[in-house]
């Protein structure tokens, strides 16, 4: 209970803050965009964002939280985001299916028409109401917002459903990459997911790239995006000079 009221205060008093992690193109080594991740430092203790989200839902402020996130991200990303780079923002299933979600989004983004926005929705959003999800993704596309499916592979969404969704990217959950560099069967699964997405004209982000071995494994998928500690951990002040040297 105490934590809940502290979260309400934190949203009001802007005690939450954002960190950003680059998403890198394997072919060019260039940063294609950044994902925004929320942090909450409560008297020296970092509260896990998943806990923030579930707390926000419990106390009925998840809509408020999303509005804060979208506004704050758009207002601050212009300090480092180049015009051709996108900013990716996480949306929970609850936030995505909120009745005011589209209207809130449309209102907030209206001042930022120059920013390329991608929303990361988890597979669990798809399960909750598939028809509504299809419609919402289409509406977002109309607003100029691209959609990425986050944590891909961990949910129940069958692969055949992917062709019904007008998503721009899938982000393969990092557990798959972790396993793929260890055994052949898991590598095969990874290859199949990438292959399927590319055949459907959907881009792929490989999440959780931590080692050079994983990077070498990913090179076979040439037009792929990558995110992970090997390149950069999520951080507050994003320096924009570096280009990552990926080849050789």
Binding residues (CB under 5 A) for Na ion: these are: 150-151
| Cα 232–Cα 37–Cα 98 angle in degrees, nearest 5 | 150
Q: Which of the choices Na ion, ligand G, Mn ion, none does residue 234 contact, using the CB cut-off of 5 to 8 A by kind?
A: ligand G
What's the start-to-end Cα distance of the chain, in Å? 53
Q: Output 69 or 103, the one with its CB closest to Mn ion.
A: 69
Query: Binders of Mn ion among 96-115, rule CB under 5 A?
Result: none
Helix (H) or strand (E) holding 132: helix 130-142
> Counting contacts by CB under 6 A, is residue 150 touching ligand G?
yes
Helix (H, G, I), strand (E, B) or coil at 147: strand
> Counting contacts by CB under 6 A, is residue 97 touching ligand G?
no
CA-CA distance, 167 to 139, in Å (whole number)?
A: 12
Q: Which member of 8, 29, 30, 37 binds ligand G (CB under 6 A)? A: 37
CA-CA distance, 148 to 89, in Å (whole number)?
A: 10
Q: Which member of 118, 150, 173, 203 binds Mn ion (CB under 5 A)? A: 150
Please, which residues have CB within 8 angstroms of residue 60's CB and are 6 or more apart in sequence? none
Q: Which of the choices ligand G, Mn ion, Na ion, none does residue 37 contact, using the CB cut-off of 5 to 8 A by kind?
A: ligand G
**Residue whose tokens read 């052949």:** 184
> Quick one: angle between helices 62-77 and 101-109, nearest 10?
20
Q: Which member of 26, 70, 90, 221 binds ligand G (CB under 6 A)? A: 90
> Counting contacts by CB under 6 A, is residue 203 touching ligand G?
no
Q: Which member of 22, 33, 153, 234 binds ligand G (CB under 6 A)? A: 234
Binding site for ligand G (CB under 6 A): 21, 37-38, 49-50, 53, 69, 90-92, 120, 150-151, 171, 174, 207-210, 227-229, 234
């Amino acid at each position: 209970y105490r934590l809940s009221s502290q979260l309400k205060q934190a949203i009001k008093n802007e005690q939450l803050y954002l960190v950003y992690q680059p998403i890198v193109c394997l072919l060019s080594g260039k940063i294609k965009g950044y994902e925004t991740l929320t942090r909450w430092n409560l008297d020296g203790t970092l509260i896990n964002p998943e806990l923030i989200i579930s707390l926000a839902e419990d106390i009925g402020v998840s809509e408020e939280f999303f509005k804060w996130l979208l506004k704050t991200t758009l207002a601050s990303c212009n300090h480092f985001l180049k015009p051709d780079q996108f900013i990716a923002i996480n949306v929970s299933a609850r936030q995505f299916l909120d009745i005011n979600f589209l209207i809130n989004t449309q209102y907030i983004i209206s001042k930022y028409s120059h920013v390329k926005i991608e929303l990361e929705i988890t597979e669990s959003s798809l399960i909750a109401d598939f028809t509504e999800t299809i419609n919402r993704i289409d509406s977002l596309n109309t607003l100029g917002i691209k959609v990425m499916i986050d944590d891909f592979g961990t949910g129940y969404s069958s692969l055949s459903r992917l062709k019904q969704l007008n998503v721009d990217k899938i982000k393969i959950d990092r557990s798959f990459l972790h396993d793929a560099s260890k055994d052949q069967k898991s590598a095969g699964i990874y290859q199949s997911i990438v292959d399927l997405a590319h055949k459907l004209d959907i881009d792929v982000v490989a999440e959780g790239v931590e080692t050079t071995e994983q990077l070498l494994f990913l090179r076979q998928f040439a037009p792929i995006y990558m995110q992970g500690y090997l390149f950069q951990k999520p951080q507050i002040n994003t320096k924009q000079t570096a280009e990552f040297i990926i080849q050789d």
